[in-house]
Amino acid sequence: MHHSCDQAFVLCVLLLIWTYETPEVYQWLEYYAGVGNITKCMIAAEYRAVRFDLKDNEQPKYRKSNFMDLSHASGFALAILCMLRTVVGQGEFACHFGIKCSSFSKMNVGTSQRSACSATGFAEYVSVKLANTLLERTICLILLCTALGGAWSLEQPSGSLLEFYPRWRFMMASIFDCGGKNAVSVVKWWMAHYASCTPKRHYAYANSRHIMRIDKGKLQGWKHDKRPKQKSADRYVDSSGKKRYKGTAHLKNMEIYPMPFARQIVDLVEDHKREAQGLPHCPASGFPPALETLVSEGWFHESDLWQFVDFSQLYSYLRGNRNLKIPDQWKAVVPREL
């Protein structure tokens, strides 16, 4: 049986369900968390929260896979599994994605060759291909979050070309189809309003209108503000007369969410969860059995939109687990490999 990419992701989710227990535990998930200031504030507010970042696990040399790296099979599997261990239902959990922006930033277009018309960039470069893989896997997690009734948000610095990525646009269209024209909100804000050491403009997508509360309005008086300021990039003109940008030593610190911003997310999270949009409505007749749905012909087959996610890597990793117990009625449609 040929499986579309969307079917492949569903099969991977099923393999996880048939391998591990999925108790409803978590109320907050933070992916690409960095130092994890939002999660720290969530825990302080007594939410059951968990974070993911490369900083959380240094891969031993004898290990082939890092369970905190979403580009690895074990990392992608753990990210999905924790999503499955959330308190399922609308208004019950939320997750945030602070995905690494470097490959999608305007400063990097000379290398990545990304543009609004070609946001996949030059994938022959390892850094570009890795960023595409992480984004496509993040999109899978957002779709799963939406299907479970959760609230999600994804943040990027202003100028990031992530929002033009083909699979991202297709995901947005799919959520709008299910949840209507207000299913996804977009907000822009100045991080200086949250005691940042640089003004820095950001944007975020979310499936709840309450994300708009992040925006504190026009930035005023920044030049006269006496707080210590840090410059994240230097501008210069090269020998050919072309304008260039170069990151400073402070650029890395810009990835850290200020604590006032983290507390703002905590303040709005209950409303954010309660008004999560995009969950498909259950028809009066109910949904057909999962097995019937999987083998039906109504799946989308445009594999070009999943160029880098590599479901086969994840599927092989999960299919070989000794604890996997496939129900008898599913064995005929669950292949050994994709």
Residue numbers of the domain that contains 37: 22-218+259-330
- Total residue count of the chain as it appears in this document: 338
The DSSP secondary structure of 37-61, one letter per residue, reads HHHHHHHHTT--EEEE-GGG----T
Neighbours of 322 (CB within 10 A): 5
285 assigned to some structural domain:
yes
Stated pTM of the model: 0.89
pLDDT at 1: 42
316 assigned to some structural domain:
yes
Q: What is the number of domains present in the chain? A: 1
How far apart (Å, rounded) are the C-alpha atoms in residues 96 and 113? 27
Residues 6 or more apart from 5 whose CB is under 8 A from it? 303, 305, 306, 309, 311
- Tokens matching residue 85: 């261990």
pLDDT in tens, the chain (338 residues): 445 668 889 999 999 999 999 999 999 999 999 999 999 999 999 999 999 998 888 887 788 888 999 999 999 999 999 999 999 887 899 999 999 888 999 888 889 999 999 999 999 999 999 999 999 999 999 999 999 999 999 999 999 999 999 999 999 999 999 888 899 999 999 999 998 888 889 999 999 999 999 999 999 876 656 666 556 666 777 777 776 666 565 455 557 999 999 999 999 999 999 999 998 887 788 888 888 888 876 555 556 678 899 999 999 999 999 999 999 999 988 989 87
239 assigned to some structural domain:
no
12 assigned to some structural domain:
no
336 assigned to some structural domain:
no
